[in-house]
Amino acid sequence: MEQLDTPAGGHPELLSVIVPAYNEEAVLPEFHRRLAEVLRTIDMHAEIIYINDGSQDATLDVIRRFKQTDDSVTLIDLSRNFGKEAAMTAGFDLAAGDAIVIIDADLQDPPELIADMVRHWRAGYDMVYAQRTVREGESRLKKLTAYLFYRLIRTASRVHIPRDTGDFRLLSRRAVHALNCLREQHRFMKGLFAWIGFPQKALPYRRDARFAGESKFNYWKLWNFALDGFTSFTIAPLKVATYLGVTTALIAFLYAGYVVVRTTLYGNPVSGYPSLMVVITFLGGAQLAFIGILGEYLGRMFNETKQRPLYFLNAYEPASSAMRRDRPALSAGPAAGIVGAGQSGRVEQTAGRQHDE
């Protein structure tokens, strides 16, 4: 084992690396090799938290294999596929580190950047996020839509979401503490990261193409993701209805005056069918559109009111490394209440049970 300084009266610093993985059997071995190599160069204890997000392939077995040879590996196995946002949340809830890194398993986020992140964290930043300068292996359309989305949400919401950032970043313990207080169902993480505040630092990097496997996000998923982003962080679309309504009413009022004057002066030859149709279809369309927008917000309120837990654990196998710390969900830490009282019991019940499929 490497020799690490122990701050007086405390334990050595711990770095938790959270890795959500959904059907990533093809990349994980290479990912683990590269990550472990990087962690060896950082003078902190480290734990690697793999979250198996209900994969249908052999991801779980691959992670279990890592555990046999690497005692810094923690396994969190969710009870089904909950999506990356929930998987990350499970990682944040259970990470014990003083600094916590979140990274994709597909090697699009270079693990080598973690060393720089730690340096900036030591310099006092609570959040060090990787900012893309180049995106390899992604279509023009994806780049364009991503570009438009970031710019639009920045103008529409008061939260400053930095452009061209993914989830890849380092958070301090207190930043994770803050993040764990936000338990909304529609988790637009980039927005949540920005919302909590604290000193933040951007770290430019090249985003590589996927090492293997395929992206799990198609355009429909991305569209819904964008909707979540908007509706979680701004009510501007609702206000558009108000202003459009007021403007239309004003125009209608002026037009009514014009019609009255014209009829008194020139009589009333029945005409104007086209203009009538235009007005009716325009108003009908606008009304339906804004009922739809209302529905988007209402539906999200409906989901929030159910107050369901964000995920359930099928298995939780903490790292067996020498670093023993109270695990947030198993202690009376802040996350325990959040995960739900019943769940820490569930964790113990299910920990170590074999995944039988």
User: According to CB under 6 A, which residues from 107 to 136 bind ligand UDP?
Assistant: 108
Stretch that binds ligand UDP, among 6-14, 104-112, 232-240, 247-255 (CB under 6 A): 104-112
Q: Is 215 in the site for ligand UDP (CB under 6 A)?
A: yes
Alpha helices, DSSP H, located in the chain: 28-40, 59-69, 84-94, 113-122, 140-156, 173-179, 189-195, 219-233, 236-266, 273-306, 334-339, 341-350
Q: Is 78 in the site for ligand UDP (CB under 6 A)?
A: no
Residue closer to ligand UDP by CB (options 30, 290) is 30
- The CB-of-182 to Mg ion minimum distance in angstroms stands at 24
Scan for tokens 């939780």, then name that residue.
Answer: 316
Residue closer to ligand UDP by CB (options 74, 120) is 74
Q: Which of 98, 106, 126, 317 binds Mg ion (CB under 5 A)?
A: 106
- The CB-of-184 to Mg ion minimum distance in angstroms stands at 24
Residue 276 φ then ψ, to 5°: -60, -45
Residue closer to ligand UDP by CB (options 54, 97) is 54
Task: Count CB-CB contacts under 10 A for residue 24.
Answer: 29
CB-CB contact of 248 with 286 (8 Å):
yes
Q: Is 145 in the site for ligand UDP (CB under 6 A)?
A: no
Residue 294 φ then ψ, to 5°: -55, -45
- The CB-of-149 to Mg ion minimum distance in angstroms stands at 17
Task: Count CB-CB contacts under 10 A for residue 17.
Answer: 26
Residue closer to Mg ion by CB (options 86, 329) is 86
Radius of gyration of the chain from Cα atoms? 26
Of 161, 104, 87, the C-alpha closest to 127 is: 161
Residue closer to ligand UDP by CB (options 39, 293) is 39
Print the binding letters for residues 17-36 with ligand UDP: x by CB under 6 A, - otherwise: ---xxx-x------------
Q: Which of 35, 87, 146, 329 binds ligand UDP (CB under 6 A)?
A: 87
Of 22, 347, 344, 328, the C-alpha closest to 176 is: 328
Residue closer to ligand UDP by CB (options 27, 319) is 27
DSSP letter, residue 11: P
Q: How far apart are CA 97 and CA 15, in angstroms?
A: 5
Site residues, ligand UDP (CB under 6 A): 20-22, 24, 53, 81, 83-84, 87, 104-106, 108, 215-217
Site residues, Mg ion (CB under 5 A): 106, 108
